[in-house]
A and B are shown apart, each in its own frame.
Chain A
């Protein structure tokens, strides 16, 4: 039979997954708004962020309540601490989606533009990282953590390429300067978003294994599947 605390933690975990779903939806809408250059959709993402902020506070308060009332230890403690940290990271990812949408609105306002092709490589990778991260949150499969970390390296590489391209175009005055500057901010923000997914996966790794691998991914040990 589950203890009272276990039931509370299960409820909390489900709420975290719902929040992750909300953030996932915001990020997907952000990409669609970018592709379609849809200002209305960008506004929806910005507006929806208030609900994400509110739920983040609620989840944090419930984590603190569980810590204060039940004083969990061992895997229970790691579960609550990881929820607390992941919750915070999800809220930040929501904020970053808002930032991207704000940049997009400035870009749209400056006139018609062609979105740099590399965004169509980079954005889907970040969305794939998000999906893997949610799966990882759901089933605690730490093999996914490595996959997400590897995708982050690819996103970093694409970000560098985009920055080189945009810097080059800015120096050559090739295009609208305002739009190029905001694309520049956008790629950096998207790269930061990807970093948050690795943070979340590292927190899940900690929850499952008890090891803190942040800043040192070489410490990660994942059992190879048997043939």
Chain B
């Protein structure tokens, strides 16, 4: 049975120094579903996303109140292995960022860091990950070629393959298609539909229709507050909050 509360965000406040950017966010994210975060720039959606694998730990002067749990375990508990957390909660960024290495080495990068060097095992993971990222057919004959020679869409799918290779439970995507053309965007969106069979996905997007197309649930943020969180079909056909309605219909401000 799938877990309706794989990730729980509880009374979560977040501050950069004295500047509070998230206010009392509460949200349960179900397993193997796609959740989209939408909202205007500066609303806190990326900040919340980056808290879910503690990427914000790298920023000076941050602090938080409340908690985020994954499978009922706080990601902020003292015994949390942050590197292990980030392996469990992978991330794909706005701009694809493959390393200047071969396609093969990009996919196995995380595994090598974890000390896994068995060639047969890595070969198998590379094929499986590239297939999952819908890239295998396009690159299977040039795995030793420089990843920087791939197209923008291919690079982004390579980054997804690199994330999948570490076998995370959760994939965070921060505007993964904003630098891609419509065709590459469609491929990533189709991929997200496939990936949710195995992974829980949280995606930040500025593209309303992308949120509508790919997600099961949508959360609308405004000025650091979670305004509405509901099934995507409800948000886009009959939102219960006026601010949500104004934002998704382009009447904001």
Binding site for B on A (CB under 8 A): 3, 5, 71-78, 209-210
Cα–Cα, bound, A74→B208 (Å): 12
- The one of A5, A74, A78, A209 in contact with B248, judged by C-beta atoms closer than 8 angstroms, is A74
B23 within 8 Å of A by Cβ? no
B238: chain A residues within 8 A (beta carbon):
74, 78, 209-210
Binding site for A on B (CB under 8 A): 208-209, 212, 236-239, 244-245, 248-251
The answer to whether A3 and B239 have CB atoms under 8 Å apart is: no
A75: chain B residues within 8 A (beta carbon):
245, 249
A210: chain B residues within 8 A (beta carbon):
237-238
Shortest beta-carbon distance, B123 to chain A, in Å?
Answer: 44
Cα–Cα, bound, A75→B212 (Å): 15
- The one of A3, A71, A77 in contact with B237, judged by C-beta atoms closer than 8 angstroms, is A77
Shortest beta-carbon distance, B39 to chain A, in Å?
Answer: 15
A78: chain B residues within 8 A (beta carbon):
237-238
B248: chain A residues within 8 A (beta carbon):
73-74
Cα–Cα, bound, A5→B238 (Å): 18
The answer to whether B236 and A74 have CB atoms under 8 Å apart is: yes
The 24 listed contacts between A and B (C-beta, < 8 Å) are: A3-B249, A3-B250, A5-B250, A71-B209, A72-B249, A73-B208, A73-B212, A73-B236, A73-B237, A73-B249, A74-B236, A74-B237, A74-B244, A74-B245, A74-B248, A74-B249, A75-B245, A75-B249, A76-B249, A77-B236, A77-B237, A78-B237, A210-B237, A210-B238
B251: chain A residues within 8 A (beta carbon):
3
The listed residue with most B CB atoms (<10 A of its CB), out of A3, A5, A73, is: A73
Shortest beta-carbon distance, A206 to chain B, in Å?
Answer: 9
Apart from A73-B212, A74-B239, A77-B236: 20 A-B pairs, beta carbons within 8 A: A3-B249, A3-B251, A71-B209, A73-B208, A73-B236, A73-B237, A73-B248, A73-B249, A74-B238, A74-B244, A74-B245, A74-B248, A75-B245, A75-B249, A76-B249, A77-B237, A78-B237, A78-B238, A210-B237, A210-B238
Cα–Cα, bound, A210→B238 (Å): 6
Cα–Cα, bound, A11→B28 (Å): 43
Chain B residue nearest to A210 (CB atoms) is B238
Shortest beta-carbon distance, A78 to chain B, in Å?
Answer: 7
Shortest beta-carbon distance, A31 to chain B, in Å?
Answer: 38
Cα–Cα, bound, A72→B236 (Å): 9
